[in-house]
Amino acid sequence: MAGDEARPEGKLLELFLQALVSHYGYDFRHYQRESLQRRILNLMTQFNLRNFAEFQRAVLSDAALFERLCAELPVGVTSFFRHPAQLRQLREEVLPYLASFPMIKLWSAGCSTGEEAYSLAIILDELGLLDRSHLFATDLNPYLLELGSSGLFPSGPLAVNREHYLASGGPRLFDAYLSGNGRFLAIDDRLRQRILFHRHSLTDEGIFNEFQLILCRNVLIYFDAELQRQVLRRFARSLHAEGFLALGPQDGLHRLALDEGFEPCRSGSYIYRVSRSAAA
């Protein structure tokens, strides 16, 4: 349906996504449609745009509004030491194995505001590996990257963060890495300086390094199956032959990962390596 009743669905949505590729060079055609529609409708409400036709005209004529759309589409859900059981396996099994490398390169892909990257930095510090590690944290959303690079985080979730840190095998107090006692807490500068925050799109940009460990957790769940497959292939090309890929326990990608030549380190961990046969 067009005109005043136009909604972000069906052929109209497909044409709009194609127009974004042509006009701005950004490709959202493989994002899950339900997630796209919710976010577009939310922006239409925020900007008091009565229908999808008005929204399309506004986005295609106003680069600032397009940037706002880019900031809204990726789902920035993260926290310190999220999925602590998986991080415990990284602490106890994966990172000690990678300690044999003279330099360890790690990539937090789809990092949102950076809590995952800082959690990795804390674990590396506690294992004595931080000073010979390069940690890259990437996301499409520049606003989230700016928040992450600031090293400032709201103090509200502190109690949950403490619990997750301990559950991940943390030997100290989580508070030892923070300063401040107001609404915001600052992460230790020594950790912040070890992380490079960089804008990068998983959907249409290539590899940029060879990594011993890649984490991409609860990001691919918002892509369709074909884009998930493409990103997994990109990760396979980005991994060192002895490297590891950690996916989110809720991503539902185990079968697809197996199909793309990954094999789990052990049952139920969602931490993978490229199989020898696939790498050959």
Query: For the segment 182-225, what is each residue's pLDDT rounded down to a tens digit?
Result: 899 999 999 999 999 998 888 777 777 899 999 999 788 878 88
What is d(CA 229, CA 211) in angstroms, rounded to the nearest whole number? 19
Q: For residue 208, count other CB atoms closer than 10 A to its CB.
A: 12
Q: Is 120 exposed, middle or buried (0-12, 13-18, 19+ CB in 10 A)?
A: buried
Q: Is there a domain that residue 78 lies in?
A: no
* Domain's final residue, options 19, 49, 72: 72
Residues spanned by the domain of 260: 84-279
Q: Are 18 and 154 within one domain? A: no
pLDDT level of residue 275 (50, 70, 90 thresholds): confident
Mean pLDDT for 172-177 is 95
Supply the pLDDT for residue 74.
59
Percent of the chain with pLDDT over 90: 58
Q: Are 48 and 94 within one domain? A: no
Q: Are 53 and 132 within one domain? A: no
Supply the pLDDT for residue 32.
77
* Domain's final residue, options 24, 48, 72: 72
pLDDT level of residue 131 (50, 70, 90 thresholds): very high
CATH of the domain at 220: 3.40.50.150
Supply the pLDDT for residue 278.
61
- The answer to whether the CB of 124 falls within 8 A of the CB of 135 is yes
Q: Are 49 and 156 within one domain? A: no
Does the pLDDT of residue 137 top 80, yes or no? yes
Supply the pLDDT for residue 175.
94
**Which residue did the predictor score with more confidence, 138 or 50?**
138
Q: Are 66 and 98 within one domain? A: no
* Domain's final residue, options 72, 97, 118: 72
Q: Is there a domain that residue 79 lies in?
A: no
Considering its fold, how many domains does the chain have in total?
2
Q: Is there a domain that residue 247 lies in?
A: yes
Q: Are 239 and 104 within one domain? A: yes
pLDDT level of residue 4 (50, 70, 90 thresholds): low
Q: Is there a domain that residue 51 lies in?
A: yes
- Mean pLDDT (the chain, rounded): 89
Least confident of 36-40, 130-134, 151-155: 36-40
**pLDDT, tens digit, for every residue of 213-261?**
999 997 888 788 888 999 999 999 999 999 999 999 888 899 999 999 9
Q: Is there a domain that residue 245 lies in?
A: yes
**Which residue did the predictor score with more confidence, 197 or 3?**
197
Supply the pLDDT for residue 1.
44
Residues 6+ apart with CB under 8 A from 48: none
What is d(CA 235, CA 110) in angstroms, rounded to the nearest whole number? 13
Q: Are 173 and 152 within one domain? A: yes
Mean pLDDT for 133-154 is 91
Q: Are 103 and 235 within one domain? A: yes
Q: Is there a domain that residue 77 lies in?
A: no
Q: Are 125 and 264 within one domain? A: yes
Q: Is there a domain that residue 234 lies in?
A: yes
Does the pLDDT of residue 3 top 70, yes or no? no
Q: Are 153 and 198 within one domain? A: yes
Q: Is there a domain that residue 12 lies in?
A: yes
Q: Are 18 and 95 within one domain? A: no
Q: Are 142 and 247 within one domain? A: yes
